[in-house]
A and B are shown apart, each in its own frame.
Chain A
Amino acid sequence: MAAPDLLDSILSGVTRPGRYAGHEWNSIAKDWEEARLRVALAYPDAYEVGMSNLGLAILYDALNRQPDVLAERVYAPWPDMEQAMRSRAVPLFSLESRRFLRDFDWIGFSLQYELNYTNVLNMLDLAGVPLLATARAQMADVPLVIGGGTCAYNSEPMAEFFDLLVVGEGEEVVLELARLHLAVRGEGAAAGNWKPEFLRRASHIEGVYVPSLYATRYHSDGTLQAITSSGGAPAVITKRIVRELPPPPTRPVVPFVKAIHDRGMIEIMRGCTRGCRFCQAGMVYRPVRERPLGQVLHAVDELLQHTGYEEVSLVSLSSSDYGGIETLLRELSDRYGARRLSISLPSLRTDSFSVGLAQIIQRTRKTGLTFAPEAGSERLRRVINKGVTADDLLRTAEAAYSSGWLRVKLYFMIGLPTETLEDVLAIAHLVKAVRDIGRRECGRRAQVSVSVNTFVPKAHTPFQWWPLMDAQMIRERQAALRRELRGPGIQLSWSDEDTTWLEGALSRGDRRLGAVVQRAWQLGARFDAWGEQFKPAVWRQAFADADLDPAFYAARERSASEVLPWSHISAGIAPTFLWDEFQRGLRGEPSLDCRVGCADCGVRSAFMLSSCPTTAADKGA
């Protein structure tokens, strides 16, 4: 356990020491001796970011409800804290009990973003846990290193550091793993090495990926020849889903320190039926499952009672699509309006219906409304299957500005498949049209914020074979937009070039990138997702030292026959569906929202679903 005096003296000298102090409302510190399984839930980023993650809050709740299981939290120490810890030889400790991470049975990392990978290694190193799974395999007393989250859909760059990864939704799987752990530890001799047996049996649980049971072979050109399983592990790991959304946690830990999303969160729906071809979340979170209205209302009530939050966010991938969204908002507004509860409804569809929804809940019009048309031209929007027309956008803008909002934020991407310069300039036309509407409705105070992000093709999407656009072309297109969108009333922001190629390489990379991540960490890479901490030169060096080229992963078009590094992981979607959608995209043919007509993506049969999507109406409000 971290010595209190030593810790006190360290904490007096670091920025935002409240991040490491614990004792937050609703934090759970169970009896260490009584627990038979002790889990450290780790978010590999700063406290303020990790505390905004709903996934870990769900697992914290689920694990701690088990009488014989204990779950505590740990976040990445900021560089000044890391330095103090290393110089005073204080290993990484959990928030609740301040026990050292190496004393836990599992360290479970939530992998939501590739640019957090160096923090994972840093946290393991600070914990005194060997980085490589092979090094830990024979050490019965060293924690198991487990991962989950979005990056599990292609975790290959980190595969050598993890003993086990959970693909898909973790709520049920994590409890099955807990039961298995207790069974295996209970059976075996106390001194024996229980890990190989545990991992072997775990690999048979649906959704569990044990990288050590999979071997990779490469062609001479560097592409994958095969990923083969051994020891009875399945050839393909299919993600786990929960058939019905379990009740949401209503006693989340309430931070003292301001988190980036400093509000209560209730998930109203999982999955999305729109089928936008660039969107990984829309593909991997299928099928859609809506939470019944009554359950949402009850959960909000409990959440407010147990936290005292002044704002609640209704979380989903496309809030306007939740059946009964209008009823829900009116009900919440009636119940809590007098209490000045703020309701946040992110992920709005671009239509005036959404503006109507925003009006129900917006008590002041200070903040703006955000929409994501994503592409500037009708043609390109059909390619990416973003079913928004220019007319939709302009009517939405008109509804927003005329209702009292002074600011509209728009998200666009550049580098999309088949994109031409015309398509990019069309963004500028649209933005100026929106600005003009704003000025007409609100005068000079009207603002348009435009965020132009470079498209990174993602695994498990129809565009997964497409390369990242050449950097020079991206720069030219960004420059064109900057020229066109100069002037009052418009704020333009765009992606950082180095962040983009690194994200592209890591999200589409294979197991050999483990050496690159490790080298980058050794050279001092930390908090790569933070602009001021990111060191692209270090990463370039790390790639060079490993004799690998990031462009090979990020910027190379893949052929239909190529074995992709994530081909042994399935989101339940038929590979033929993805390829067909890709071809339809290249031809500019839109596909229907699957609420309108099932496109047979494969999820229905993969999970033997009797109904897909499952709406709030199906379950009875």
Chain B
Amino acid sequence: MLNELQQRFRITFRKGADVRLISHLDLARAWERALRRADVALAYSHGFSPHPRMFFASALPVGTTGRAEMLDIVVERPIGLSDLTARLRGQMPAGLEVTGLAEVPLTLPSLPAQVVAAEYEVLVGCTDAPAALQERLEGLLATGSLPRRLERDGKPREYDLRPLIQRLWLIGRRHDDCLIGMRLQADAQGTGRPGEVMAALGLHADVRAIARTQLLFKA
């Protein structure tokens, strides 16, 4: 329902190491409370079970940090951009940091529906020489298909992991660790998971950290 007084803001934020281990639901709750402390009047949906109009672009799994996560909020009491920025600043818990804030039209399509892919950096312990690791990555990319199966709602679902891997590259090496970059599909047709890609590379046991570096949207 469109209310002339409502506004929509798009928040870009970092979910850092201090809150790496909280779940998406925990994160949503933390955001709600931060906004309430900041005296920002979130609009609520109507109906039997009203919930705050907060829309995350994509849920981050437990254990993954996010450098450029996004969240749309709808507020029902007018507030200016600089006022919102100032009020939020003092209310963010450790590990959560607002890196961007903009007012956007209420009529913009739903944020989560605009996501098409996500990029990750995965830190792995590796004893492989860089050239050997590069070969592993290329080997995976050269594979035609990677059949997988997933249990969803008690029913097994079969899918192919390979087309979900859009890009895969070696970023660099630091002492005993390697940094691997990947761009994975993330939309209604399929979501690639970095853990799965690392397992397909045979490196799952050596993963030290996973960071989502950015989300990619429809043009």
Q: Which residues of A contact B (CB under 8 A)?
A: 8, 11-12, 17-18, 20-21, 23-25, 254, 256-258, 304-310, 339-340, 366
Contact = CB atoms under 8 A, between A and B. Distances in A.
B32 interface: yes
A256 B22 contact: yes
B30 A256 contact: yes
Contact of B36 (A8, A20, A256, A310): A310
Given A11-B21, A21-B20, A258-B26, 15 more contacts: A12-B63, A17-B63, A18-B23, A18-B26, A21-B21, A23-B93, A23-B95, A25-B33, A25-B34, A25-B93, A254-B33, A306-B37, A308-B37, A309-B36, A366-B48
B16 to A, nearest CB: 10
A308 B36 contact: yes
20 contacts: A17-B21, A18-B23, A20-B21, A21-B18, A21-B20, A21-B22, A23-B18, A23-B19, A23-B94, A25-B30, A256-B26, A256-B27, A257-B23, A258-B25, A258-B26, A304-B36, A308-B35, A310-B32, A339-B41, A340-B50
Contacts of B22: 18, 21, 256-257
Contacts of B32: 308, 310
Q: Point out which of A11, A20, A21 has the most chain B C-beta atoms below 10 A from its C-beta.
A: A21
B143 to A, nearest CB: 27
Contacts of A305: 37
A305 B90 CA distance: 12
B91 interface: yes
A308 B91 contact: yes
A424 to B, nearest CB: 38
A-B interface, 7 closest residue pairs, ranked by CB to CB distance from nearest: A308-B33, A308-B36, A308-B37, A17-B21, A23-B94, A23-B18, A256-B26
B75 to A, nearest CB: 13
B44 to A, nearest CB: 7
Residues of B in contact with A, size category: 20 to 34
A14 to B, nearest CB: 9
Nearest to B94: A23
A108 B61 CA distance: 35
A20 B22 CA distance: 10
Contacts of A8: 208-209
Contacts of A256: 19, 22, 26-27, 29-30, 93
B102 interface: no
B29 A258 contact: yes
Contacts of A25: 30, 33-34, 93
A12 B32 CA distance: 26
Contact of A307 (B35, B37, B94): B37
A96 B52 CA distance: 31
A25 B35 CA distance: 13
A340 B29 contact: no
Nearest to B40: A308
B20 to A, nearest CB: 8
Given A18-B21, A23-B95, A308 B34 contact: yes
A395 to B, nearest CB: 29
Contacts of A18: 21-23, 26, 62
Interface string B171-210: 0000000000000000000000000000000000000110
Nearest to B31: A308
A119 to B, nearest CB: 22
A303 to B, nearest CB: 11
A258 B30 CA distance: 10
Interface string B61-74: 01100000000000
Contacts of B27: 256
Interface string B1-43: 0000000000000000011111101110110111111000100
B19 A21 contact: yes
Nearest to B16: A23
Most central of B23, B27, B34 by chain A CB within 10 Å = B23
Contacts of B49: 366
A26 B209 CA distance: 27
B62 A307 contact: no
Contacts of B208: 8
A304 B35 CA distance: 12
Contacts of B34: 25, 308
Nearest to B49: A366
A309 B35 CA distance: 10
Most buried by A among B21, B29, B36, B41: B21
Nearest to A14: B21
A23 B26 CA distance: 13
Contacts of B25: 258
Contacts of B26: 18, 256-258
Residue of A17, A256, A310, A340 with highest tally of chain B CB at under 10 A: A256
A419 to B, nearest CB: 42
B37 A24 contact: no
B51 to A, nearest CB: 11
Contact of B33 (A11, A20, A258, A309): A309
Contacts of A308: 32-37, 91
A12 B21 CA distance: 8
B54 to A, nearest CB: 13
